[in-house]
Chains A and B, each alone.
Chain A
Amino acid sequence: MIRKIAVQPEDFDTGAELAALSANAGGVASFIGVVRGDAGDRALAALRLEHYPGMTEKALRQMAATAETRWKLSGCTIIHRIGRLTPGQNIVLVATASRHRADALAATAYLIDQLKTKAPFWKAEECADGTVHWVDARESDEAAAKAWL
């Protein structure tokens, strides 16, 4: 079982991360979150990501452990960036590996849904006009996470 959890300002190498998971797997599924170029109707200059050091890693490890119990996985990688990220940059990578596709596809969807509502990260949008706004939580994210219960 491969498990990698990281919270870091640096970018990740998607190819290298997926290659690391593919050893002894039948398939690898992944989700990559990327900074959008807009905040609704305004142009976005950057996203600022803050987290709760210690609790974040603990929450991500718990999610990975639950996914490993629920699906037959051979590997699980979660990398979440923090700090100031500009449009087009990677925010998060969730990837899982399994013998057959159904497990990896479901586990990856589960993990990103859980991460959105159960990991202590907060985003602020830095707009091109100089204003900064904290992003509000979305009810649809909460509903998506609960649908797995």
Chain B
Amino acid sequence: MRILYFAWLREKIGHGEEIFTPPASVTTPRQLIACLRQRGGFYAAAFTNEALIRCAIGQEFQPLDTPLGTAEEIAFFPPVTGG
């Protein structure tokens, strides 16, 4: 799947996009976060506070416990601040 990062999450991780095939046991964004956090380093730092992380699956906002299904694109970012 394609994973995108925005705003300070992108800055902390160091890039805005990556292709990653998570293990079959990862079925929700929250589990994907846990999996990415295990990489340590910048990932662990970026995902420290889960309460500040929002996500979109297939370009739609979704709660972190939504099933990933066959999603090809998932994005993680802080709460939005446009307007």
16 CB-based A-B contacts, threshold 8 Å? A49-B82, A50-B7, A52-B56, A52-B59, A55-B56, A55-B75, A80-B83, A115-B83, A116-B81, A119-B80, A119-B82, A120-B80, A121-B81, A122-B77, A122-B80, A134-B7
Q: Which of A55, A58, A112 contacts B83 (CB under 8 A)?
A: A112
Q: Choose from A52, A91, A135 the contact partner of B4 (Cβ within 8 Å).
A: A52
Interface residues on A, range: 20 to 34
Docked-complex contact A122 and B83, CB < 8 angstroms:
no
Q: Is the CB of A118 within 8 A of B61?
A: yes
Total CB contacts across the A-B interface at under 8 A: 67
Complex alpha-carbon distance, A63 and B70, angstroms: 26
A contact set with B: CB distance below 8 Å: 33, 49-52, 54-55, 58, 80, 91-92, 112, 115-124, 134-137, 141
Q: Are B83 and A33 in contact (CB under 8 A)?
A: yes
For A80, the chain B residues whose CB sits under 8 A away are: 82-83
Q: Are B83 and A52 in contact (CB under 8 A)?
A: no
| Most chain B beta-carbon neighbours within 10 Å: one of A55, A92, A136 | A55
The answer on a CB contact under 8 Å between B80 and A118 is yes
Bound Cα distance from A118 to B60, whole angstroms: 10
Cross-chain contact A91 with B83 (CB below 8 angstroms): yes
Per the bound structure, the CA–CA distance linking A49 and B60 in Å amounts to 20
CB distance from B59 to the nearest CB of A (A): 4
In the complex, chain B residues whose CB is within 8 Å of the CB of A123: 81-82
Chain A residues whose C-beta falls within 8 Å of the C-beta of B83 in the assembled complex: 33, 80, 91-92, 112, 115-116, 119, 121, 141
Given the interface contacts A33-B83, A134-B7, A134-B8, does A122 sit within 8 Å of B56 by beta carbon?
Answer: no
Given the interface contacts A58-B59, A118-B61, A120-B77, does A51 sit within 8 Å of B4 by beta carbon? no
